[in-house]
């Protein structure tokens, strides 16, 4: 599987990472299937260089706009300010939620891609994509047009 997006989308995510530096940035990718049509910046509620959390109100606003445009959430992105663009244990844990009724743990967006922008090499940000499933973390190709 591959996540498809325009060069302008990649540039926008990298710029967001620099704009929020030294804190991690985060956002939502909207589109159809595996194709990104729009990048949404979302406030990092943690305001931290080590972790991120999509601010609830901002996230809800973005989800409503995506739905109104007839698109779907195809992925998420965030930055790593000092480490490689690989999912950390915290990133993996945050990809899952516990159902308050049943206690079951599930991925609320099981088919979504996760993009990480690393600023570890200040001169050449590194951008990678992953799928985080119930039993595995899989590197995914990025098709940039």
**111: Cβ–Cβ under 8 A, 6 or more apart, which residues?**
131
Matching CATH number, 2-144, of 1.10.510.10, 3.90.25.10, 3.40.140.10, 3.40.50.2300: 3.40.140.10
- What is the rounded average pLDDT of the residues 85-93? 82
Q: From CA 33, how far away is CA 31, in angstroms rounded?
A: 7
- Give the bridge partners for 143, in sequence order: 4
Q: Decide: helix, strand or coil at residue 128.
A: strand
pTM for this one? 0.89
pLDDT at position 105 is: 47
Q: What is the pLDDT of residues 109-135, one digit of tens each?
A: 666 789 999 999 999 999 999 887 666
């Amino acid at each position: 599987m591959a996540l498809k997006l325009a060069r302008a989308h990649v540039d926008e995510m990298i710029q967001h990472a620099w704009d929020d530096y030294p804190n991690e940035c985060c956002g939502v990718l909207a589109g159809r299937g595996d194709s990104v049509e729009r990048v949404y910046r979302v406030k990092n509620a943690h305001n931290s260089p080590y972790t991120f959390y999509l601010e609830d109100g901002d996230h809800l606003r973005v989800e409503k706009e995506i739905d109104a445009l007839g698109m779907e959430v195809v992925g998420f992105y965030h930055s790593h300010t000092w480490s490689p663009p690989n999912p950390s244990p915290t990133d993996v844990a945050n990809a899952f939620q516990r159902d308050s009724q049943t206690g079951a743990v599930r991925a609320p967006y099981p088919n979504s891609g996760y993009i990480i922008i690393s600023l570890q090499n200040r001169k050449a940000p590194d951008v990678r994509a992953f799928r985080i499933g119930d039993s595995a973390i899989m590197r995914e190709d990025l098709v940039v047009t």
